[in-house]
Amino acid sequence: MEVKPRQDGRWLLDTAKAVAKLMKSRTVGTTLRIRIPKEEALSKGDGWMAVIGDLGKNQPSLQIWFDRFSGYDDRKLCACFHSHDDSAIKNIRKNVGTKLGPKRVVKPKDIETENHWVLLERLGRAEFNVPILEIHNTESYYGIYDPTRQSSERINRHFCNRAAAFFEDVARALPDASESEESREVYPRFENRKLVATHFRRERSGYLATECKIRDGYSCQVCGFKFQDLYGSLGRDFAEAHHLTPLGELDSEVRSCVEDLTTVCANCHRILHRMNSHRGDVAKLRAIVRRRLEKLA
């Protein structure tokens, strides 16, 4: 097994601690049990890993990895659920349905294990930041790999936000879990509540919303507003995600993807939900805002 620079282990542990701290406020209504890790351990993929909690007693654990399993020379971060009981991971896969279905299924025949665990066919570009299911001989994993390299930045905020959203999405997809408090406040009171509830059950994904906001730089795609510009650090990594597909056209069998979402500020989000529920509402509202601003100028 290759020698692993100590600084990689420290960086992994700091990252795992940051994800755990984000998760501490997301456990209400779920079986999540989060703890701040005190140490890292060597991974089978020539790197490091840390456990930040679990889904309950004898249930899958939440882990953060930083190793070469994905098939690249430089180590990659991973946020995953792990279990020695295949049925527990299969249960997760069943409950997340199409919303977070795996992009790729990895089996023992797909892995080289001579020096360390590594994929024979490395992850493709489209397979990062989407769920991957790993079925090994004695254990299983379900998680996401991040393409970001280690840098001078102490903590990779985008990875931490993605990891926390992924863990919470899975936890809230399990039986008896409740909806997050944040999701109940996204839509204005005058909207059809039954339709909105159906929208959340079918399409709400904090993970996809996070991916959308990272893609758009947390800037409103209608008016251009960015919370951090006005509120400083309080507004950092904050925005809302709007579903482009009209609620009445949602199909429970359709798989959601990040392309179905766009980033908006709170004001534009509520105005969008006063409109006609057409996919073109974002472009229409953007034109209205532009004309109004030109007139005011």
Which residue bears the tokens 């282990």?
9
Q: pLDDT tens, 208-267?
A: 889 899 999 999 999 999 999 999 989 999 999 998 875 555 555 455 678 888 999 999
Looking at residue 188, its pLDDT comes to 37
How large a percentage of the chain has pLDDT more than 90? 59
Among candidates 71, 68, 96, which has minimal Cα distance to 81? 96
Looking at residue 249, its pLDDT comes to 59
Containing 266, the helix (H) or strand (E) segment is helix 266-272
Looking at residue 1, its pLDDT comes to 46
Looking at residue 199, its pLDDT comes to 44
Q: pLDDT tens, 41-84?
A: 999 999 999 999 999 999 999 999 999 999 999 999 999 999 99
147 vs 71: CA distance, rounded Å? 11
Residue 256's contacts (CB-CB under 8 Å, 6 or more residues apart) are 98, 99, 203, 205, 208
Whether 38 has a pLDDT exceeding 90, the answer reads yes
Looking at residue 22, its pLDDT comes to 94
Within 10 angstroms of residue 168's Cβ, the number of other Cβ atoms is 24
Residue 70's contacts (CB-CB under 8 Å, 6 or more residues apart) are 76, 78, 119, 122, 123, 128, 145
Residue 283's contacts (CB-CB under 8 Å, 6 or more residues apart) are none
How large a percentage of the chain has pLDDT more than 70? 84
151 pLDDT band, cuts 50/70/90, is low
Output the average pLDDT for the chain: 85
Q: pLDDT tens, 250-280?
A: 555 455 678 888 999 999 999 998 887 778 8
More confident residue, 153 or 122: 122
Q: Report yes or no: 95 and 173 within 8 Å, Cβ to Cβ.
A: yes
pTM: 0.81
Residue 287's contacts (CB-CB under 8 Å, 6 or more residues apart) are none
Whether 155 has a pLDDT exceeding 80, the answer reads yes
